[in-house]
C-alpha cells in the first residue's frame, strides 16, 4: 500500500523563488464519500490519484499515469468545478524535496510548501521562508480549496 506522510506550511516570503522554476498543474476532484479521487494534468501527462482518509499527517495514496486525453476529458466532465490551477516549484534541500505551490484563479494569493516524509515523527530543518504549519488544517487540503477557495475566506 502506498502511504503519503506530508507536512504542509504557509510560505512567509519570496526567498524560495531563486531555488526553482515552476510548472503549471491543473487538477480537479471527482466527488466521493470515503476517499479523494484527483485527476491531474502536468504539461503533456495525465494522472489519477486515489487517497484515503487522513490520519494525523498520513494517508493511503495510489497514483497512476493515464492518457492525457482521458485526463483532460475527466477534468472537463467528471470533476466538480472550480479546478485547482497552480505553479509547482520543486526545491531540494537537506535530502528532502519541498514542493512550493503558488495558486492561481480562485485561490490566487495562497502559497503553500509541502514536504513528504518517511515517518510522521521525522524531524526536519525548516528553511527561512517557511511560515505557519498548517498540516492539520483541512482548509488547506487541495480538495477543500476546490470546494472553498482561498479568496472566499
- Please tell me the total number of residues recorded for the chain in this structure: 153
The answer to whether residues 11 and 103 touch, using CB atoms and an 8 Å cutoff, is: no
What is the C-alpha to C-alpha distance for residues 8 and 46, in angstroms, rounded to an integer? Answer: 24
CATH number of the domain that 115 lies in?
A: 2.40.320.10
Tally the domains of the chain: 1
Residues of the domain holding 79? 3-152
What are the residue numbers of the active site? 29
Q: Tens digit of pLDDT for each residue in 22-73? A: 999 999 999 998 899 999 999 999 999 999 999 899 999 999 999 999 999 9
pLDDT tens-digit readout, 93-130: 999 999 999 999 999 999 999 999 999 999 999 999 99
Amino acid at each position: 500500500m502506498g502511504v503519503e506522510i506530508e507536512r504542509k506550511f504557509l510560505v512567509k516570503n519570496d526567498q524560495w523563488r531563486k531555488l526553482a522554476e515552476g510548472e503549471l498543474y491543473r487538477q480537479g476532484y471527482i466527488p466521493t464519500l470515503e476517499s479523494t479521487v484527483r485527476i491531474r494534468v502536468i504539461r503533456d501527462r495525465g494522472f489519477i490519484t486515489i487517497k484515503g482518509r487522513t490520519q494525523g499527517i498520513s494517508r493511503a495514496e495510489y497514483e497512476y499515469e493515464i492518457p492525457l486525453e482521458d485526463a483532460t476529458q475527466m477534468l472537463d466532465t467528471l470533476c466538480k468545478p472550480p479546478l485547482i490551477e497552480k505553479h509547482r516549484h520543486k526545491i531540494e534541500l537537506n535530502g528532502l524535496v519541498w514542493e512550493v505551490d503558488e495558486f492561481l484563479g480562485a485561490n490566487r494569493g495562497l502559497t503553500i510548501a509541502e514536504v513528504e516524509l518517511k515517518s510522521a515523527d521525522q524531524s526536519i530543518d525548516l528553511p527561512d521562508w517557511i511560515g505557519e504549519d498548517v498540516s492539520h488544517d483541512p482548509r488547506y487540503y487541495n480538495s477543500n480549496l476546490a470546494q472553498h477557495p482561498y479568496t472566499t475566506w
